[in-house]
Amino acid sequence: MLFKLSLKNIARSIKDYTIYFFTLILGVAIFYIFNAIESQTVMMKVSASTYEIIDLMNSMLSGVSVFVAFILGFLIIYANRFLMKRRNKEFGIYLTLGMSKRKISLILFFETLIVGCISLVVGLVIGTVLSQVMSLLVANMFEAKMTEFEFVFSSSACVKTLIYFSVMYILVMIFNTYNVSRCKLIDLFNANKKSEKIKMKNPWICIIIFIISTCILGYAYWCVTGGITELQTADKILIPIALGTISTFFIFWSLSGLLLKIFMSIKNIYYKGLNSFTLRQFSSKINTTVFSMTIICLMLFFTICVLSSAISIRNSMTSNLETMVPADIQLDKKMDLPTDSGYSEGIIADSKISVSETLNKLGFNIDKYFKDIIEFNLYASNDILVRDTLGDSYRQIEKQFPYLDYDAAETFIKMSDYNKLAKLYGLDKVHLNSNEYAVVADFDSWINIRNESLQRKTPITINGITLTPKYDECMNGFVYMTSSHINTGIFVVPDDILNNMPRESGILVANYKANTDEEKQKIENIIINLDNSSYAPNTDIEASTKISLYEGSIGLGAMITFIGLYLGIIFLIASAAILALKELSESTDNKERFSMLRKIGTDEQVLNKALFRQIGIFFMFPLILAIIHSIFGIKFCAYLLETFGKDELIKSIIVTAGVIVFIYGGYFLITYLCSKNIIKEK
Amino acid sequence: MENILKINKVEKYYGSRSSLTKAIDNISFEVNKGEFVAIMGASGSGKTTLLNCISTIDKVTSGHIFVDGEDITKLRGNNLNKFRREELGFIFQDFNLLDTLTAYENIVLALSIQNVKASEIDRRINKVAKELDIKDVLKKYPYQMSGGQKQRVASARAIITNPKLVLADEPTGALDSKSAKMLLERFDYLNKELDATILMVTHDAFTASYATRVIFIKDGKIFNELHKGADSRKEFFDKIIDVVTLLGGDLNDAL
């Protein structure tokens, strides 16, 4: 009997449940898709190092899934609360008829069970279909070769989805039971008779608060763009975030009152058609929903930033590698290790010989596999520290950046070595007189720091010889091949000056003697196998190769893209669903209002237009502010990641806009159609 | 005298063929310009159904309703809405004011959906506010007003468009006796001074006694009709009570 009642309840209120169903199904589908990536990656033919990255990605995705489950859980409970509110009268009737609270809880239990089962089944089916498209994307991202299309169903992802969502539904059931047990009959009947007081805010206070919060927001924007060099530690970023959040709240708070005042004073607009009605609808609700508007705005902001950064990061990472990894291989090891350094005797002995000698001992034939070989040393001495090279600007810089390591030894390279390397790398060569030095760097904030002291012509003294800077700024350049700009500065000095300086590390850069990718891979494999050589324990030599850097970068980019997509889409769904549910929950009030308007003779098209505008304004308001936030947010991300090209960013912004239009717009449309249905005269 | 409303053999049936309910059973009458007509009947007598048919909220099963010579049973779609907003004024038992708007804005709404210029709005509202004695509450929201004030605001909304016919559905139903009396005196004023044609549905003899004519309905048919003529309101009220007693049943209880 109760089960039948539950079924009928769902069938009857299917219109109210549309958004709820839609959100649940979408949530289930997305949860499945991203967890199914694991089984798709297993099928791909990729190299071992890519496998490692994929492994990392999969474990990160499942970690993120826990977080996502929390968001979805909150969303479902929130949505459920809205639906329950609409049915207070119904529960009141059950109670007056003498039904026990336990039985009402049971009805709700069955309802949740039915809704849960249907949404899980439909969501999993949709998820399975969409994840086939996803597998193409995955293969493309990892540049894996798909031999043939294969239909993949991930049972582990399916089980995981079932477990996670079951837990969420059980929470909803507990929540419902708790709510029913707490409710009083009189409250249930009076639930609809609310007399909300509409307080008009003082326009002057609104204006003042609006101006203040705009200024605060402007300052927060400046912090993450113009004043970005001030943000040296991670905790400092919290200040603009907090300021932005607070000012967002107060902008919504003041703007609602302000806009109404402005429009009200323009009588020709305010008293035209249903404009006064629409505006009042808007302002009567925004008074109570400023808080959720703020949350939605921030969530949208997060979505836009994450999506656009994540999508562009992979492509820009790989395109950067072309200039940053110009040679096939770079081998390096520490040199001249002191006997008390804690390393084994073998390694300390090995640190006295050159890289090529070590390779020989490992049984590697350099001449057979390598060409364009450059071998050189980097030098460092505790006599010349960072604080010394900063000279007079040290005090000022230390105040600005108190956490940098000023006691680290500076690194030096012989001019002739650097110029050979520069030729191979395609960098600018350095020409110095016997009493000059130059600094090469590519880490932006360090370039700024070093330029300070270079402009002051700060001299440095090595072995009693004083050198002055040749240029008043750092030269763009690097020695180590990496996938990002992390060269904090290497000093290029005339060759003979370094003769008595201890060697810090020995480096060998070369290209493979190979013409095809297969041949290169063969040499790469030989190098990887050197680990098994009997001499291997006696050396700490390390290799960075073009192939491994590319694979790592591709994998890392893909990983960030997937996690970004996952989080971005979930946040987008959450914010759109909250808005939609809020709007729909008002529809009972709206129904009476619209039917009154209809009675006094308003045309149906005019009514629909008013409804469309009302919902449109509600969806647009947080989005517009979120977009403005994002302009600065993306700039900040671009600075942080230092990897964006303009073209990449535009492409990713277009994709992001597409995703937002599709999901957010979809929610808007469904909300409009559902509301239209609710206010329709039966 | 000019004929504003003509109801011609109107019938309204509910239900299926097997269980037919005749809510209105062949009713015909006319209302002239400047008349204040009350329709009385017990609950279930069909008076509200009749009003809904005249206001085009409901559709007749057969028969015709003419407003100012136009057959409104033939109107469809937007023409219906146009008719409602231009020819009719509505007053409801539960006021039906929008709680989000001030009294002023509620009244404006009736004009703005007719696309009346904003410059003209203020003048017309001031005039009607004076007539209905609501100048003080124009800036208030419905929740800040008493029931009587709300109903007078609703009345202002109904007559500001200069409708041919004002329809009132139990206008005093939710009011205390003092507010009801005040409202009815305003109706009387609107009817006598502004020549407004009012058709009011009520089950309350006191309310009906303010009309110039009372039509009694029982089981969907016209049962009796009283003209005030030269009677005082008290005399007219006694006559109404006599008919009500004759009608018997529920209507007595409603007193």
Give the residue with greater pLDDT, A47 vs A166: A166
Q: Is A365 helix (H, G, I), strand (E, B) or coil?
A: coil
Q: Which residues of A touch B77 (CB under 8 A)?
A: 604
Say how many Å lie between the first and final Cα of chain B, rounded.
34
The CATH number of whichever domain residue B211 belongs to comes to 3.40.50.300
- Could you tell me which chain A residue has the CA closest to the CA of B113? A273
Rounded CA-CA distance A181/A622 in Å is 36
Confidence of residue A149 (pLDDT cuts 50, 70, 90): low
**A467 in any annotated domain:** yes
Neighbours of A461 (CB within 10 A): 11
Name the residue in chain B with its Cα closest to that of A595: B96
> pLDDT-derived band of residue B253, with 50, 70 and 90 as boundaries?
very low
Domain-located, residue A22: yes
Q: Which residues of A touch B86 (CB under 8 A)?
A: 601
pLDDT band at A127 (very low <50, low <70, confident <90, very high): very high
Mean of pLDDT values over A366-377: 89
- The string of pLDDT tens digits covering residues A626-682 is 999 998 888 888 777 665 556 677 888 888 899 999 999 999 999 999 888 888 865
Residue B178 to chain A, least CA–CA distance (Å): 24
Q: Which domain holds residue B172?
A: 3-254
- Find out whether A402 and A235 touch, Cβ atoms under 8 Å: no
How many angstroms away from the CA of A260 is the closest CA of chain B?
12
Token representation of residue A173 = 């059931």
CB contact under 8 A, A598 and B81: yes
Q: From A195, A221, A255, give the residue that closes a domain.
A: A195
Q: Is residue A348 part of a domain?
A: no
Of A418, A420, A434, whose CA–CA distance to A477 is shortest? A418
- Residue B255: what pLDDT? 43
Q: Which residues in chain B touch residue A197, judged by CB atoms under 8 angstroms apart?
A: 143
Is A504 found in the same domain as A424? yes
Closest Cα to residue A282, out of A50, A621, A630?
A621
Do residue A629 and residue A646 come from a single domain? yes
- The nearest CA of chain B is from the CA of A288 a distance in Å of 13
A 451-480 near B (Cβ less than 8 A): none
- Judged by a CB distance cut-off of 8 A, whether residue A145 touches chain B is no
Q: What's residue B201's pLDDT?
A: 92
Facing residue for B141 by CB, picked from A198, A600, A602: A198
More confident residue, A256 or B69: B69
| Chain A residues closer than 8 Å to B121 by CB | 267, 271
- How many whole angstroms separate alpha carbon A112 and alpha carbon A479? 62
Q: Which pairs from A425-432 meet CB under 8 Å and 24+ separation?
A: A425/A326, A425/A327, A425/A477, A425/A478, A426/A323, A426/A326, A427/A476, A427/A477, A427/A478, A428/A475, A428/A476, A428/A477, A430/A470, A430/A475, A430/A492, A431/A470, A432/A470, A432/A492, A432/A493, A432/A494
pLDDT (0 to 100) of residue A629:
92
DSSP-assigned letters across all residues of B74-125: G--HHHHHHHHHHHEEEE-TT----TTS-HHHHHHHHHHTTT--HHHHHHHH
Cβ separation B57–A284 shorter than 8 A: no
Looking at residue A154, its pLDDT comes to 86
Q: Does A608 touch chain B (CB under 8 A)?
A: no
CA A496 to chain centre: 49
Closest by Cα among A524, A57, A34, A47 to A314: A57
For residue A553, the SS3 value is helix
* pLDDT score, position A669: 94
pLDDT band at A240 (very low <50, low <70, confident <90, very high): confident
Between A267, A277, A598, which is nearest B101 by CB? Answer: A277
d(CA A627, CA A625): 5
Nearest CA to A636 among A624, A644, A648? Answer: A644
- Final residue of a structural domain among A272, A291, A314: A272
CA–CA dist A333, A539 (Å, integer): 8
Can you tell me the mean pLDDT for A511-534? 86
Asked if A256 and A281 sit in the same domain, the reply is no
Q: Quick one: A5 and A67 in the same domain?
A: yes
Stretch A66-91: mean pLDDT? 84
Cα of A97 to nearest chain B Cα, Å: 26
Count Cβ atoms within 10 A of the Cβ of residue A515 and give its class: 0-12 exposed, 13-18 middle, 19 or more buried: exposed
Burial of B112 (0-12, 13-18, 19+ CB in 10 A): buried
Q: What is the pTM of this model?
A: 0.79
- Over 80: is that where the pLDDT of A288 sits? no
In this prediction, residue A297 carries a pLDDT of 93
Mean per-residue pLDDT of chain B: 87
A255 and A298 in a single domain? The answer is: no
% of chain B exceeding 90 in pLDDT: 29
**Within an 8 Å CB–CB cutoff, is residue A226 touching chain B?**
no
Tell me: do A501 and A579 sit in the same domain: no
Instruction: Read off the pLDDT band of B194 (50, 70, 90).
Output: confident
Which of A277, A286, A597 should one mutate to test binding to chain B, selecting the residue with the greatest count of B CBs within 10 A? A277
Cα A346 to Cα A362, A376, A530, distances in angstroms: 13, 22, 17
Task: Determine how many CB atoms are found less than 10 A away from the CB of residue A249.
Answer: 18
Q: With 80 as the cut, is the pLDDT of residue A88 above it?
A: no
Number of domains forming the structure of chain B: 1
Please tell me the predicted confidence (pLDDT) of residue B249. 53
**For range A611-628, the mean pLDDT:** 91
Band of the pLDDT at B200, cuts 50, 70, 90? Answer: very high
pLDDT of amino acid A552: 79
Q: Is the pLDDT score of A424 beyond 60? A: yes
What is residue B252's predicted lDDT score, i.e. its pLDDT?
47
Residue with tokens 């060409």: A371
Q: Residue B104 in contact with residue A286, Cβ under 8 Å?
A: no
Residue A335 belongs to a domain: no
B residues 85-144 near A, CB within 8 Å?
85-86, 88, 90, 92, 96, 98-101, 105, 108-113, 115, 118-119, 121, 141, 143
Q: Chain A residues with CB inside 8 Å of B90's CB?
A: 599-600
CB A632 within 8 A of CB A225: yes
Give yes or no for A196 touching B (CB within 8 A): yes
pLDDT category at A287 given cuts 50, 70, 90 is low
pLDDT of residue A662: 92
Between A308 and A1, the more confident residue is A308
CB within 8 Å: A276 and B101: yes
B113 contact partners, CB below 8 Å, separation of at least 6: A273, A274, A597, A600, A601, A602, A606, B85
B112/A276 CB distance under 8 A: yes
Summarize pLDDT for A200-229 with one digit per residue, the tens.
677 888 889 999 999 999 998 888 887 776
Residue B253 contacts A where some CB pair is shorter than 8 Å:
no
- Residue in chain A nearest B91 by alpha carbon: A600
Residue A192 confidence (pLDDT):
56
Cα dihedral across residues B52, B57, B60, B66: positive or negative: positive
Q: What is the mean pLDDT of chain A?
A: 84
From residue B50, alpha-carbon distances to A539, B53, B198, B232 in Å are 103, 5, 15, 29
Q: What domain range is A58 assigned to?
A: 1-195
A258 min Cα distance to partner chain B (Å)? 17
Inter-chain residue contact A599 with B96, CB threshold 8 Å: yes
Nearest chain B residue (CA) to A606: B113
Let me know: does B66 contact B78? Beta carbons within 8 Å.
no
Q: Which of A161, A195, A229 is the last residue of a domain?
A: A195
Specify whether A441 is located in the same domain as A571.
no
Cα of B78 to nearest chain A Cα, Å: 6
A454 & A469 share domain: yes
| pLDDT in the model for residue B254 | 45
Do A53 and A125 fall within a single domain?
yes
- Using an 8 Å CB-CB cutoff, list chain B residues near A192: none
Considering only alpha carbons, which residue of chain B is nearest residue A596?
Answer: B96
Same domain, A481 and A615: no
Domain count, chain A: 4
Maximum mean pLDDT: which of A553-562, B15-24, B163-172: B163-172
pLDDT for B28: 92
- The SS3 call for residue A254 is helix
Smallest Cβ–Cβ distance between B98 and the set A275, A283, A596 belongs to A596
Q: Are residues A290 and A409 in the same domain?
A: no
- State the Cα angle at A679 between A675 and A681, rounded to 5°: 145
Q: Are residues A451 and A462 in the same domain?
A: yes
Give CA separation, A158 vs A22, A25, A62, A154, A324, in Å. Answer: 19, 14, 13, 6, 42
Task: Determine the distance in angstroms separating the CA of A253 from the nearest CA of chain B, rounded to an integer.
Answer: 18
